């Protein structure tokens, strides 16, 4: 197209989807919608919900209806997904709640929100490290050891599950893995993410399919055959249920709505976080389209549907009374595996060592997978801080693969610090409860931003693809209001029900959450003052230029 004078004509126009377009250089973003969907799916992955949370919740809350709790959590999931998603469509930049809240509400509020989100994800990382050892590796080693007849593995499993040293060491190793994955840049990261995701999901699918085609009677028979050499009982299955009853578990409870509510709270610890692509909004392909919020919604709904389906299968094949009893302390000590995860029961029924090893290895991949995703959030948030001038520019330095290695180092060090607290000072459920409730402060802040965005940023709203209305009301406002209501409900559940980890720690929790909020506000005002002395007006970062 270059002519003899060295000049070129406009490139030949084309027609595309109702547009006339011409050839021109363009932006191609790195994260395709498929990878975005996986990112949003991971926090609520059914493996975690089924293995680490749900059945334990049922044992603690007899009569709580598992299916009703899923139905009640679903609108909450959608509310948070659409509040984050529709705002991200309007402001497609990396940084998540910090970016959304600071641009729509106020900078200080944005800092408060992101400090809460970061604190929650540091706590969440600590929880994941504990879960990796106590409900992943420990039970896995014990389970495989039992099936393989290896006393060594059983002993390792028992040791790992109760040793604070192992919890800390293996948790730190998991953080190191999360860091190494990210150091390789987006390509390696998305590849590892896809591999781990399909390993974890594949193991669930295989276990689910096997359980689906195994009758209840056949499971009982197979389980008893597996257990007999260990328990020397003819009917261990019945003994488990009897053991549960003896331990005070109501194994066949009548429906209780009061006990369904705490199950909602526990389910909410995994099921309402399908907005992770908000943190990489600036790297997401087609971020300005409704695909962004739909991928968040799907990332929340599909796991819940799978929890429902696999829950039905496992309840049917294993038996509800058995599951409640097994998770409530009814398993004979010779075959007791913490949490009695589904993969152990399927592998035990098959009594196949190779299958047990493969499924176990796939199953434990979940925790490093989510830990990397949490760390990714923190690096993107630190990156956004640095771009805004809140942190030094050097925090944005990238290695050769495009990874912000200084931000990553800060995030991992902070995670390690919180892990030490989690291992030596707190309890498992306390960490989970703190993480959930502090994160909800940030999530409700996004809800507030979603409610007010049509009024505070009217032109941004009008020009966006986020103008879908229900009964004449913008969906973003409905989602925002529903997110606030959901957040308040989950807070109320956690504060009311003693079994959820907050009881006895109200003072400590208040100190954690208030400290986080105050630290954020103080940090913002100090930085703003320092930067003003350097001739940099931090307020410019957050203000929209009024167009002529």
Partner 1 sequence: MKLWSRGTSSDGATYELYHASDVHGSDRCWRKFLRAGSFYGVDGLIMGGDLTGKAIVPIASSDGAYEARLLGETRRASSPAELGELTDAIRFSGMYPWVASPNDIARVERDNQAQHELFERVMLDELARWIALADERTARDKIDCFVMAGNDDPWSCDEVLSSASLVQHCDERVSYLGPHEMISLAFSNPTPWNSPRELDEDALYGKLKALAEQLDRPQTSIFNLHVPPYDSGLDTANEINPDLTLVYKGGQPNPIPVGSTAVREIIQEYQPLVSLHGHIHESRGEARLGRTLALNAGSDYNSGQIHGVIVRLATDRVLSYQFVVG
Q: Which residues bind partner 1 (CB under 8 A)?
A: 1-2, 6-13, 15, 17-30, 32, 90-93, 185-187, 190-191, 194, 282-283, 288-290, 387-389, 392-393, 396, 398, 402, 459-460, 462-463, 465, 530-531, 533-537, 540-541, 543-548
Structure tokens at 361: 């290895």
The greatest distance separating any two alpha carbons of the chain, rounded to the nearest whole angstrom, comes to 94
| CB closer to partner 1 out of 324 and 380 | 380
CA 438 to CA 427: how far, in whole Å? 17
7 burial via Cβ count (<10 Å: 0-12, 13-18, 19+): exposed
| CB closer to partner 1 out of 507 and 546 | 546
Q: What is the DSSP string of 348-375?
A: HHHT-HHHHHHHHHHHTTHHHHHHHHHH
C-alpha pair distances (Å), 87 with each of 29, 81, 219, 268, 503 = 19, 10, 48, 22, 35
- Closest distance of CB 378 from partner 1, Å: 19
Structure tokens at 374: 């949490």
CA dihedral 231, 232, 238, 241 (to 10 degrees): -20
- Closest distance of CB 404 from partner 1, Å: 11
- Closest distance of CB 391 from partner 1, Å: 8
CA dihedral 99, 430, 360, 347 (to 10 degrees): -130
Alpha-helical (H) ranges within 401-474 are 405-424, 428-456, 458-462
Q: What are phi and psi of 285, to 5 degrees?
A: -70, 145
- Closest distance of CB 547 from partner 1, Å: 4
Of the candidates 341, 349, 402, 334, the residue with the CA atom closest to the CA atom of residue 366: 341
| CB closer to partner 1 out of 194 and 354 | 194
Alpha-helical (H) ranges within 3-64 are 33-41, 46-48, 55-60
- Closest distance of CB 97 from partner 1, Å: 17
- Closest distance of CB 103 from partner 1, Å: 8
Of the candidates 180, 87, 201, the residue with the CA atom closest to the CA atom of residue 375: 180
**Residue linked to tokens 């050892």:** 133
| CB closer to partner 1 out of 157 and 282 | 282
- Closest distance of CB 386 from partner 1, Å: 10
| CB closer to partner 1 out of 309 and 539 | 539
- Closest distance of CB 394 from partner 1, Å: 8
Beta strands in 276-351 (DSSP E): none
- Closest distance of CB 410 from partner 1, Å: 13
- Closest distance of CB 102 from partner 1, Å: 11
| CB closer to partner 1 out of 5 and 333 | 5
Question: Residue 451: CB partners within 8 Å, gap ≥ 6?
Answer: 477, 480, 481, 484
**Residue linked to tokens 């195994």:** 214
Of the candidates 26, 23, 28, 16, the residue with the CA atom closest to the CA atom of residue 286: 28
| CB closer to partner 1 out of 255 and 540 | 540
Other beta carbons within 10 angstroms of residue 112's beta carbon come to 27
- Closest distance of CB 517 from partner 1, Å: 24
| CB closer to partner 1 out of 8 and 254 | 8
| CB closer to partner 1 out of 254 and 545 | 545
| CB closer to partner 1 out of 283 and 329 | 283
| CB closer to partner 1 out of 180 and 398 | 398
Of the candidates 309, 307, 297, 312, the residue with the CA atom closest to the CA atom of residue 75: 297
| CB closer to partner 1 out of 23 and 159 | 23
**Residue linked to tokens 């190494």:** 180
- Closest distance of CB 32 from partner 1, Å: 8
| CB closer to partner 1 out of 18 and 507 | 18
The percent of the chain in helix, strand and coil, each rounded to the nearest 5, is 75, 5, 25
CA 310 to CA 497: how far, in whole Å? 27
- Closest distance of CB 398 from partner 1, Å: 6
Calculate helix-pair angle for 164-183, 107-131, nearest 10 degrees: 120
């Amino acid at each position: 197209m270059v002519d003899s004078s060295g000049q070129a004509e406009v490139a030949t126009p084309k027609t595309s989807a109702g547009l006339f377009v011409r050839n021109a250089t363009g932006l191609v973003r790195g994260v395709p919608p498929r990878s975005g969907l996986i990112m949003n799916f991971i926090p609520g992955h059914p493996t975690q919900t089924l293995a680490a949370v749900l059945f334990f919740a049922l044992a603690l809350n007899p009569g709580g209806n598992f299916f009703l709790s899923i139905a009640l959590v679903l609108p909450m999931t959608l509310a948070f997904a659409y509040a984050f998603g529709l705002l991200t469509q309007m402001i497609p930049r990396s940084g998540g709640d910090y970016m959304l809240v600071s641009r729509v509400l106020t900078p200080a509020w944005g800092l408060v929100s992101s400090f809460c989100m970061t604190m929650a994800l540091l706590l969440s990382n600590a929880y994941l490290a504990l879960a990796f050892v106590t409900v992943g590796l420990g039970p896995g080693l014990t389970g495989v050891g039992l099936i393989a007849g290896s006393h060594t593995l059983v002993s390792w499993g028992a040791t790992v599950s109760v040793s604070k040293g192992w919890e800390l060491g293996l948790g730190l190793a998991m953080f190191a893995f999360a860091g190494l994955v990210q150091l390789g840049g987006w390509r390696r990261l998305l590849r590892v993410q896809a591999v781990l995701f399909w390993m974890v999901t594949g193991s669930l699918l295989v276990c689910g399919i096997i359980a689906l085609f195994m009758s209840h009677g056949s499971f009982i028979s197979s389980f008893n055959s597996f257990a007999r050499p260990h328990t020397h009982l003819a009917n261990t299955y019945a003994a488990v249920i009897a053991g549960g009853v003896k331990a005070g578990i109501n194994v066949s409870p009548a429906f209780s709505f009061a006990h369904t509510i705490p199950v909602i709270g526990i389910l909410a610890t995994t099921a309402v976080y399908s907005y992770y692509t908000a943190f990489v909004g600036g790297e997401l392909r087609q971020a300005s389209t409704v695909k962004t919020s739909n991928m968040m919604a799907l990332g929340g709904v599909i796991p819940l549907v799978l929890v429902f389906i696999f829950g039905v299968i496992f309840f049917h094949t294993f038996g509800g009374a058995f599951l409640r009893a097994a998770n409530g302390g009814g398993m004979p000590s010779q075959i007791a595996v913490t949490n009695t995860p589904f993969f152990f029961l399927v592998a035990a029924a098959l009594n196949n060592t190779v299958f047990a090893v493969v499924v176990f290895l796939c199953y434990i991949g979940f925790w490093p997978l989510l830990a990397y995703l949490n760390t990714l959030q923190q690096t993107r948030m630190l990156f956004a801080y640095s771009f805004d001038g809140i942190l030094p520019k050097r925090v944005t330095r990238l290695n050769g693969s495009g990874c912000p290695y200084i931000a990553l180092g800060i995030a991992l060090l902070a995670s390690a610090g919180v892990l030490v607290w989690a291992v030596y000072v707190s309890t498992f459920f306390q960490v989970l409860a703190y993480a959930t409730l502090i994160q909800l402060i940030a999530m409700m802040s996004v809800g507030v931003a979603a409610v007010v965005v049509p009024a505070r940023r009217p032109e941004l709203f009008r020009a966006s693809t986020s103008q879908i209305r229900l009964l004449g009301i913008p969906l973003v406002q409905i989602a925002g209001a529903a997110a606030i209501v959901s957040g308040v409900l989950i807070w109320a559940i956690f504060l009311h029900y003693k079994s959820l980890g907050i009881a006895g720690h109200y003072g400590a929790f208040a100190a954690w959450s208030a400290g986080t909020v105050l630290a954020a506000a103080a940090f913002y005002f100090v930085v703003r003052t320092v930067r003003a002395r350097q001739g940099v007006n931090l307020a410019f970062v957050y203000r929209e230029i009024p167009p002529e």
